[in-house]
Amino acid sequence: MILAGDFRNGLTFEMDGQVMQVIEFQHVKPGKGAAFVRTKYRNVISGAVIETSFNPTAKFPTATVERKEMQYSYNDSGLYYFLDMETYDMVPVEEDKLPDSFKFVKEEAMCKLLSYKGNVFSVEPPMFVELKIVEAEPGVKGNTATNVTKNAKVETGAEVKVPMFINEGEMIRIDTRTGEYLERVK
């Protein structure tokens, strides 16, 4: 059990049968009245963000979210399959449980599967991926001095904004959290 007064950012707890993660908290002790903990937390399964105040002595069971690294293998009609490298079991994950950033992940990439009590509720793709540009507009000479970008399609089918000097066939590094181009890969 964990007390609301002991909340820290990133801590996971169980409330009403749901897993919650503390985003931010503030211990408030007004001049008049009882102290309380103002908390902003997220339901890790649905993604909903809620703000509530708790009594510092309120108790909640701790929730342990398991993060297991697995290799993305393939997808088949809405199911994405991940290979457990220790047991060689295939774990299917429904498409609606994948984050938007998963569009940058190609087969054989290592990802973290997040589960609670054995049920997978999300997938964490790697922070950075290296992908090949398969489609890009040609750059216009003279536009390289400013911070001008153009659309390009990478090998996973995702669209990304890249500088004008990037051409088709080049490898680039992308930050999956923001979907932004970082650098050209040699």
Fold of 66-124: OB fold (Dihydrolipoamide Acetyltransferase, E2P) (2.40.50)
Can 2-60 and 128-185 be said to share one CATH topology? Answer: no
- Are the CB atoms for 128 and 175 separated by under 8 Å? yes
- Are the CB atoms for 72 and 13 separated by under 8 Å? no
How is residue 170 annotated by DSSP?
Answer: -
Does the domain spanning 2-60 belong to CATH 3.10.20.70? no
Fold of 128-185: OB fold (Dihydrolipoamide Acetyltransferase, E2P) (2.40.50)
- Are the CB atoms for 25 and 40 separated by under 8 Å? yes
Q: What is the pTM of this model?
A: 0.72
| Domain spans, the chain | 2-60, 66-124, 128-185
Q: Is 144 helix (H, G, I), strand (E, B) or coil?
A: coil
pLDDT at 143 over 60: no
**pLDDT, tens only, 52-107:** 999 999 999 998 888 899 999 999 988 999 999 999 999 999 888 888 889 999 99
Q: How confident is the model at residue 36 (pLDDT cuts 50, 70, 90)?
A: very high
Task: For residues 158 and 89, give the distance between their C-alpha atoms in angstroms, rounded to a whole number.
Answer: 28
pLDDT at 15 over 60: yes
Q: How confident is the model at residue 159 (pLDDT cuts 50, 70, 90)?
A: very high
Copy the structure tokens of residue 121.
């509720």
Alpha carbon 119 to its chain centroid, in Å, reads 17
Q: How confident is the model at residue 38 (pLDDT cuts 50, 70, 90)?
A: very high
Copy the structure tokens of residue 127.
């922070």
